[in-house]
């Protein structure tokens, strides 16, 4: 009898353990279900709907709303149709200097491809992807050249790239310079560490209106300065290059503190003993920065630039609050163009622009992450 009970007991224990495991799995599903439903409701479902909208034509003036599936019609209109000049810009006549830039870019990209073919990482599939990447990079280079050649006019794509690369480069250089300055034993450096963070606390719309007042030569708060410089009758709002420069400067003023605070933390993590030993051995400041400091902060720097670059592609507040993308469309980013289309309301155009922007952001992020960042990290 005792032996029979001993054989039955393990079976009961195993059955109870299995039952408890099933109840645990059921409770996990119940706890995860609200989060899954929220993700589906606020992320996946809108994503699917926006894809469908970008492939359709919508008329919201009818009742019910008229939705017609037109395939890639909205994308074709932006790239080759009636909206091409708005998105890609007006193509100018390329001069000798423009062809020189295109030639240099082509030689450089082909050299990079040649280096990959000779490397141990060579794969036929990699060559195919790199040819696609090089073709797209040449296309974007050509966009810059034709937009500023002859009677060319940059479209929202070129304007966005100007804001991204011009702004991020300036922000990183200023942030790195300020961070290196405040790692020195200077009087009041603790105060400046806090003061440099203040611009980041202002809303982008507030920054836009602030710079709009500062560059106002008629009744702005710094009008005496413009009068002293002889610019009291100068209208900056009619010059596209100056407007784009003002937007880059305002964006730099707001986001340099973000670069500064991250780079400051990275610099403070560099070994002081190593730097002091290098100075004792006769290393110059530039050699110490090039061979010791830069390799230490490079992983943080590349990640920081990537994050800021992705964020800069979504720039909409500053161009809108300054001149609404003007003069004309000279300072209109892709995001601002999508916002205006949404308010029109042309939901199909807005969705198509959003996905074109997604493609551009993904392309440059992948190029930066898989090529530039990896090559830099391999050399340190």
Give tens-digit pLDDT for 182-228: 888 777 777 877 888 888 888 888 888 888 888 888 787 888 888 88
Identify the residue with better confidence: 232 or 55.
Answer: 55
pTM of the model: 0.86
Which region, left, alpha or beta, applies to residue 63 given φ > 0 means left and ψ of -120 to 50 means alpha? beta
pLDDT at site 9: 46
Q: How confident is the model at residue 14 (pLDDT cuts 50, 70, 90)?
A: low
58-76 average pLDDT score: 85
**What are the DSSP calls for 242-307, one per residue?**
HHHHHHHHHHHHHHHHHHHHHHHHHHHTS-HHHHHHHHHTT--HHHHIIIIIHHHHHHHHHHHHHH
pLDDT one-digit tens code per residue, 280-305? 777 788 888 888 888 888 888 988 99
Q: To the nearest whole percent, how much of the chain has pLDDT over 90?
A: 30
């Amino acid at each position: 009898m005792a032996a029979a009970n001993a054989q039955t007991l393990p079976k009961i224990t195993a059955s109870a353990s299995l039952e408890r495991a099933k109840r645990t799995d059921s409770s996990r599903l119940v706890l995860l279900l609200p989060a899954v439903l929220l993700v589906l409701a606020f992320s996946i479902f809108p994503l699917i709907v926006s894809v469908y909208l970008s492939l359709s034509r919508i008329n919201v003036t009818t009742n019910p709303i008229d939705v017609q599936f037109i395939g890639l019609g909205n994308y074709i209109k932006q790239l080759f149709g009636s909206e091409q000049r708005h998105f890609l810009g007006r193509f100018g006549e390329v001069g000798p200097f423009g062809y020189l830039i295109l030639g240099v870019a082509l030689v450089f990209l082909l050299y990079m491809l040649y280096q990959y073919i000779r490397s141990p990482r060579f794969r036929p599939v990699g060559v195919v992807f790199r040819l696609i990447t090089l073709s797209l990079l040449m296309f974007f280079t050509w966009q810059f050249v034709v937009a500023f050649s002859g009677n060319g006019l940059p479209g929202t794509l070129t304007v966005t790239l100007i804001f991204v690369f011009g702004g991020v480069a300036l922000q990183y250089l200023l942030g790195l310079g300020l961070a290196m300055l405040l790692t020195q034993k200077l009087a009041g450096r603790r105060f400046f560490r806090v003061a440099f963070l203040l611009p980041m606390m202002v809303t982008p719309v507030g920054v836009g209106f602030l710079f709009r007042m500062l560059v106002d030569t008629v009744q702005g708060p710094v009008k005496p300065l413009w009068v002293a410089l002889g610019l009291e009758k100068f209208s900056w709002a009619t010059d596209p290059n100056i407007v784009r420069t003002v937007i880059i400067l305002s964006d730099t003023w707001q986001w340099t503190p973000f670069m500064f605070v991250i780079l400051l933390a990275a610099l403070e993590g560099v070994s002081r003993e190593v730097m002091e030993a290098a100075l004792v051995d006769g290393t110059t400041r530039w050699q110490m920065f090039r061979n010791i400091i830069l390799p230490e902060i490079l992983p943080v720097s590349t990640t920081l630039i990537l994050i800021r670059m992705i964020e800069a592609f979504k720039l909409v507040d500053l161009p809108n609050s300054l001149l609404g993308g003007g003069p004309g469309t000279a300072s209109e980013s892709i995001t601002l163009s999508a916002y205006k289309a949404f308010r029109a309301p042309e939901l199909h155009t807005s969705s198509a622009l959003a996905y074109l922007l997604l493609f551009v952001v993904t392309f440059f992020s992948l190029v930066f992450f898989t090529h530039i960042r990896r090559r830099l990290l391999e050399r340190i």
